[in-house]
């Protein structure tokens, strides 16, 4: 597959992929439009509800703060003057009755002890304690700060704004403004949206004054005005789905809800909010239409872009590339010797392909010129190689080319011939003639008229070989003469070596006997040293036992002291008991007949105390004797430790003397052993000398034979100075 088809397929594939991706993405967004619209509608309705509630609470708290700062309201609370407060609130009602934002505001004033002071809408009901269930009023009293919240009242759910009534830092009570959801319901109704304020039926008992209770699922309707059609439709929806998903739809309405939390964060109900389903469907349809139009525009753009790219690609790139390809293929056929010439590529453009074509054409022309020069150079190389093959190393390549590689090869080849002719010779045939003469053991031939290093080396080698042969012949003659003298001397050496070996054997036997005696003495000294070490160990153990005995005597002394202290305590107890018995006897005598029995007991206690004191005295005497004996034993133990220490010092000195004798004996033994080893070594060497003398005798005979062979061998060769060679003399 050519490049044009591949590029076309690639561009079309990319376009199709882009189209498919666009289709998938837009359809994904299209499929998510419903959920997005539902979620946005839900969020908008809940946000709108939050804003409306916040607005009403802001109205409530702003007016509550203004009313709480009214001098007459403050004065009424300070003086408990309800009539003043009623008069002031009537004036406020008349002032705001014409304004829609302030209609249906209910003002309630509380005392400092959290009791109802005045209900503007029901002045006759007052004085009831609110602290048990109106925790918001208690919080305002505690913090002295305003707050807004939602609470359950007697007739349903209210928006509450409470502020403290304070003058000069003194808390006189609080004022609250209560609002129902009617104004918010009317505001939503103007926008064709509906609201149902629903109280959780768990708190139904709190709203005990609600009349004509309308129930929806687990809720009770907490508003007096409502759209009956919307209420009927709301009763049919599945509240469990609504609470789980956050929204639900039927044929007419889109429903969502907002949880209502009271001051303490408890869920007390919900506000069910609806939007006309047609409005929601119209938003979905409008958004889907926009996506369809976007998809159509993307398809048209991709088709136009693909067609434009393919047309431009063929005209600007593919056609010039095809011409460029044909020109290159023809040039490569020329390079591969398939054709004898190559035409230039015919492309006349100023783009990248045109610039590339000009560069290729220049290279085609340069290549032709280089190939012709290369061919001439190669022919010259063939000529030189042929002559070098015949042994003529004085030839050189003369042709040249612009090809740097071939020029470098030419220079390397010529340099190689220069170095070879310098290091070897200019004509190898002359060397072959000399080597043929050497093969016939005739070393008189030379390479004539050649300055090559190997030629000179061969001539020098021939001279050296001749010198070696002359030297060998001379040495052979000398060796032959000397071998006779060597045989005679070796015989004398052999006889002397045998006599020395016999004398050394007798000396070695005597030294071995002396070595045995010294070794026995050394062993006895070592045994004496070991026995002395054992005595030292026993003395150390005796000293250790004596130390343990001294320690035990010290411990006994401590225990005896403890017994003495205990006996002293017993003696004191006996003395106190005796005193008590005397006191008891006096008391019994004072008591008369009634104390006789107690007197007998007191006498027995006194006797017991006396015996305890006597026994303690005897034990104390025994303990004193034991203490004296323990001290005597301690002194004896200390004397034993001193004796053991002296004994150890004497034994240590004795061991040191024994070690000195042992060391001297070992040194004597080592000296005798060294002498013995030296004698044995001399004996061994003497025996080896005798053997060597015998072997030397044999070698001398072989040397005599070898000298005769060397002389005969050199006489068989032709070399310079052969006939003038004689025996060397010193």
- In three-state form (DSSP H/G/I as H, E/B as E, the rest C), the secondary structure along 651-673 is HHHHHHHHHHHHHHHHHHHHHHH
Return the minimum-mean-pLDDT range out of 91-105, 453-467, 555-569, 666-680: 91-105
Strands 193-200 and 215-216: unpaired
**Cα Rg, the chain, nearest whole Å:** 69
pLDDT at 400 over 60: yes
Closest CA to 50 of 159, 191, 201: 159
16 domain residue, yes or no = no
In a domain, 349, yes or no: no
Distance CA 283, CA 305 (A): 33
State which of 265, 290, 315 marks the end of a domain.
290
The string of pLDDT tens digits covering residues 649-674 is 777 777 777 777 678 777 777 877 78
In a domain, 60, yes or no: yes
The pLDDT, as a whole number, for residue 621 is: 79
- What whole-number percentage of the chain has pLDDT above 70? 85
Distances (CA, A) of 690 to 391, 499, 677, 679, 730: 63, 10, 20, 16, 31
CA dihedral in degrees (310, 311, 314, 316; nearest 10)? -110
* Average pLDDT for 335-344: 70
**Long-range contact list for 43-46, CB < 8 A, 24+ apart?**
45/193, 45/256, 45/273, 45/275, 46/256, 46/258, 46/273
646 in a structural domain = yes
Could you tell me if 702 and 453 are in contact, meaning their C-beta atoms sit under 8 angstroms apart?
no
CA of 640: how far to CAs of 631, 635, 636, in Å? 14, 9, 6
Query: SS3 for 264?
Result: coil
Residue 21 lies in a domain: no
Write out the H or E segment, with its range, that includes residue 256: strand 253-261
The secondary structure element, H or E, covering residue 628 is helix 596-715
Helices 71-79 & 82-96 angle (0-180, nearest 10): 160
> Domain range holding 257?
27-290
Q: What is the pLDDT of residue 150?
A: 94
Q: Tell me, what's the pLDDT at 100?
A: 47
How confident is the model at residue 172, as a pLDDT? 95
pTM over 0.75: no
DSSP class of residue 718 equals: B
Which of 248, 275, 290 delimits the end of a domain? 290
Enumerate the H helices of 390-452 as residue ranges: 404-423, 428-439
The three-point CA angle 610-612-617 to 5° equals 95
Does residue 319 surpass a pLDDT of 80?
A: no
pLDDT of residue 620: 74
Portion of the chain with pLDDT greater than 90, in percent = 23
E-assigned strand segments in 68-210: 106-111, 116-119, 147-153, 156-167, 170-179, 193-200
Cα 600 to Cα 288: distance, rounded to the nearest angstrom:
123
Q: From CA 151, how far away is CA 57, in angstroms rounded? A: 12
Identify whether 547 is part of a domain.
yes
Residue 89 has pLDDT above 60, yes or no: yes
- Determine the pLDDT at residue 78: 94
Tokens representing 598 are 């107690």
Instruction: Please give the average per-residue pLDDT across 690-710, as a whole number.
Output: 77
* Bridge partner residues of 259 (DSSP): 270
Domains held by the chain: number: 2
Q: For 118-134, what is the mean pLDDT? A: 90
The answer to whether residue 484 scores a pLDDT higher than 90 is: no
The pLDDT of residue 66 is 92
pLDDT tens by residue, 575-597:
788 787 778 777 777 877 766 67
- The C-alpha atoms of residue 406 and residue 426 are separated, in whole angstroms, by 25
Q: Rounded CA gap, 598 and 604, in Å?
A: 10
Is the predicted pLDDT of residue 619 greater than 70, yes or no? yes
Is residue 1 assigned to a domain? no
Q: Are 546 and 644 within 8 A, CB to CB? A: yes
Q: Does 108 reside within a domain?
A: yes
CATH of the domain at 166: 3.30.450.20
The phi-psi region of residue 472 (left if phi > 0; otherwise alpha if psi is between -120 and 50; otherwise beta) is alpha
In terms of average pLDDT, the best of 93-107, 129-143, 477-491 is: 129-143
Between CA 707 and CA 695 the distance in angstroms is 18
Torsion 206-211-212-214 (CA) sign: negative
pLDDT (tens digit, 9 = 90+) per residue, 529-580? Answer: 677 677 677 767 767 776 787 777 777 777 767 777 777 877 787 778 878 7
- Encoding tokens for residue 663? 């060391």
For residue 257, give every residue at least 6 positions away whose Cβ sits within 8 Å of its Cβ, in sequence order, or none: 242, 243, 246, 270, 271, 272, 273
Q: In what order do the strands lie in the sheet with 116-119?
A: 116-119, 106-111, 170-179, 156-167, 147-153
Instruction: State the average pLDDT over residues 55-65.
Output: 94
How does residue 376 score in pLDDT terms, banded at 50, 70 and 90?
confident
What average pLDDT does this structure show over 310-318?
Answer: 71
User: CA–CA separation, 552 vs 634, rounded Å?
Assistant: 9
What is the arithmetic mean of pLDDT over 497-502?
72
Token pair in block for residue 46: 């809940």
Rounded distance between C-alpha atoms, residue 236 and residue 223, angstroms: 19
- Say if residues 677 and 488 touch (Cβ distance below 8 Å): no
Task: Return the pLDDT at 243.
Answer: 93
Report whether pLDDT(283) > 70.
Answer: yes
Computed over every residue of the chain, the mean pLDDT equals 80
706 against 234, higher pLDDT? 234
Any bridge partners for residue 157, and if so which?
A: 152
Please indicate whether residue 53 or residue 351 has the higher confidence score (pLDDT): 53
Q: State the pLDDT at residue 123.
A: 92
Q: Which of 290, 324, 356 is the last residue of a domain?
A: 290
Measuring CA to CA, which residue among 465, 506, 513, 522 is closest to residue 680? 506
For residue 97, pLDDT beyond 60:
no
CA proximity to 4, closest of 317, 306, 307: 317
3-state SS class at 395 = coil
- Give the model confidence (pLDDT) of 630-654 as tens digits: 777 777 777 777 776 786 777 777 7
3-state DSSP: the chain helix, strand, coil percent, rounded to 5? 70, 10, 20
Between 37 and 162, residue with greater pLDDT = 162
């Amino acid at each position: 597959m050519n490049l044009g088809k591949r590029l076309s397929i690639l561009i079309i594939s990319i376009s199709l992929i882009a189209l498919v991706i666009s289709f998938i993405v837009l359809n994904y967004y299209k499929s998510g439009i419903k959920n997005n619209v539902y979620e946005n509608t839900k969020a908008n309705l809940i946000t709108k509800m939050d804003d409306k509630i916040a607005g009403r609470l802001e109205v409530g708290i702003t007016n509550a703060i203004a009313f709480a700062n009214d001098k007459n309201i403050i004065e009424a609370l300070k003086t408990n003057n309800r009539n003043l407060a009623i008069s002031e609130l009537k004036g406020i009602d008349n002032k705001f009755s014409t304004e829609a934002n302030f209609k249906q505001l209910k003002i309630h004033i509380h005392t400092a002890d959290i009791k109802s002071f005045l209900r503007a809408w029901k002045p006759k009901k007052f004085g009831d304690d609110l602290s048990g269930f109106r925790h918001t009023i208690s919080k305002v009293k505690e913090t002295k700060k305003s707050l807004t919240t939602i609470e359950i009242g007697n007739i349903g759910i209210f928006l509450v704004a409470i502020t403290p009534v304070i003058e000069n830092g003194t808390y006189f009570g609080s004022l609250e403004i209560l609002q129902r959801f009617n104004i918010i319901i009317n505001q939503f109704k103007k926008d064709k949206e509906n609201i149902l304020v629903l109280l959780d039926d768990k708190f139904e008992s709190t709203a005990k004054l609600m009349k004509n209770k309308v129930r929806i699922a687990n809720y009770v309707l907490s508003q007096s005005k409502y759209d009956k059609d919307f209420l009927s439709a709301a009763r049919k929806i599945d509240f469990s789905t609504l609470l789980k998903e956050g929204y639900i739809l039927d044929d007419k309405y889109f429903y969502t809800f907002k949880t209502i939390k009271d001051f303490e964060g408890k869920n007390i109900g919900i506000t069910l909010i609806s939007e006309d389903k047609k409005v929601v469907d119209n938003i979905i349809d409008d958004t889907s239409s926009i996506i369809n139009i976007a998809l159509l525009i993307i398809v048209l753009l991709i088709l136009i872009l693909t067609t434009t790219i393919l047309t431009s690609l063929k005209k600007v790139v593919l056609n010039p590339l095809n011409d460029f390809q044909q020109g290159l293929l023809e040039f490569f056929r020329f390079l591969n010797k398939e054709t004898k010439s190559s035409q230039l590529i015919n492309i006349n453009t100023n783009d990248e392909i045109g610039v590339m074509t000009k560069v290729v054409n220049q290279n085609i022309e340069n290549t032709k010129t280089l190939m012709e020069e290369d061919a001439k150079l190669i022919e010259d190389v063939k000529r030189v190689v042929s002559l070098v093959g015949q042994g003529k190393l004085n030839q050189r390549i003369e042709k040249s080319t612009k090809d740097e590689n071939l020029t470098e090869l030419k220079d390397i080849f010529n340099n190689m011939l220069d170095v070879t002719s310098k290091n070897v010779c200019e004509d190898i045939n002359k060397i072959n003639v000399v080597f043929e003469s050497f093969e016939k053991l005739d070393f008189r031939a030379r390479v004539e008229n050649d300055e090559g290093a190997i030629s000179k080396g061969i001539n020098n080698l021939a001279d050296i070989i001749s010198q070696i042969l002359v030297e060998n012949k001379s040495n052979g003659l000398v060796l032959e003469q000397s071998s006779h003298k060597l045989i005679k001397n070796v015989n004398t050496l052999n006889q002397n070596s045998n006599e020395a070996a016999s004398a050394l054997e007798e000396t070695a036997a005597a030294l071995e006997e002396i070595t045995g005696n010294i070794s026995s003495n050394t062993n006895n000294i070592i045994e004496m040293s070991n026995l002395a070490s054992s005595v030292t160990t026993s003395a150390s153990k005796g000293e250790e036992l004596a130390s343990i005995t001294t320690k035990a005597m010290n411990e006994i002394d401590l225990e005896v002291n403890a017994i003495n202290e205990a006996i002293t305590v017993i003696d004191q107890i006996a003395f106190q008991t005796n005193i008590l018995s005397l006191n008891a006897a006096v008391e019994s005598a004072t008591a008369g007949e009634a104390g006789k029995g107690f007197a007998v007991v007191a006498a027995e206690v006194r006797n017991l105390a006396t015996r305890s004191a006597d026994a303690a005295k005897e034990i104390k005497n025994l303990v004193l004797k034991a203490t004296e004996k323990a001290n005597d034993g301690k002194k004896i133990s200390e004397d034993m430790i001193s004796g053991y220490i002296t004994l150890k010092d004497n034994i240590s000195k004795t061991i040191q003397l024994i070690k000195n004798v042992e060391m001297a004996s070992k040194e004597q033994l080592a000296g005798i052993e060294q002498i013995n080893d030296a004698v044995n070594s001399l004996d061994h060497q003497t025996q080896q000398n005798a053997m060597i003398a015998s072997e030397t005798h044999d070698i001398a005979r072989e040397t005599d034979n070898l000298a005769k062979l060397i002389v005969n061998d050199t006489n068989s060769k032709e070399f310079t100075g052969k006939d003038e060679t004689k025996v060397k003399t010193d």
